[in-house]
Amino acid sequence: MDKTKIVVALCIASLTAAVLILMPKYKAWTRTIRSRAELREAEHEAQLEVVKARATRQSARILADAEAERARGIASANRIIGESLRDDDKILRYLWIAALRDAETIYVPTEASMQSLGARQ
C-alpha cells in the first residue's frame, strides 16, 4: 500500500505542477484569441460604417438629382404659363372668379384702401 500511496501522491503532485505551469500559458492563449476576435469585430464594424456612409451618400445624390429634376419641371411649367398669359389675361380673370365662388369673405379694395364693414351679401 505504501507504493500505491506514493504513486498516487506523485500523480497528484505531477498534475498540480502541470496545472500550475500550463495555467498562465492557457490564460495568455485565451487572451490572444479574445483579442483577435475583438479586433476582427472592430474591423467588421468599421467596414459596416463605411458601407452605410457610402449608401447614405448615394441616397443623398439620388435625392438631389430628383429635386433638381423637379425644379426644372416647375421652371418649365412656369415658363409655359408665363408665355400663355403674356398677351391674354382671360384665364386670370376666370381663375379669380372661380376663387371668389369658394370664398366666404370677399374684400373689395376701395379708393382709400379702407375696409367697408357695412356690406352685406
pLDDT beyond 90 at 49: yes
Average pLDDT over residues 33-46: 96
pLDDT at 101: 81
Please indicate whether residue 79 or residue 104 has the higher confidence score (pLDDT): 79
Helix (H, G, I), strand (E, B) or coil at 106: coil
pLDDT tier, 36 (very low <50, low <70, confident <90, very high otherwise): very high
Backbone φ and ψ for 105, nearest 5 degrees, come out as: -125, 135
pLDDT at 74: 96
pLDDT tier, 61 (very low <50, low <70, confident <90, very high otherwise): very high
pLDDT at 118: 55
Task: For residues 85 and 96, give the distance between their C-alpha atoms in angstroms, rounded to a whole number.
Answer: 14
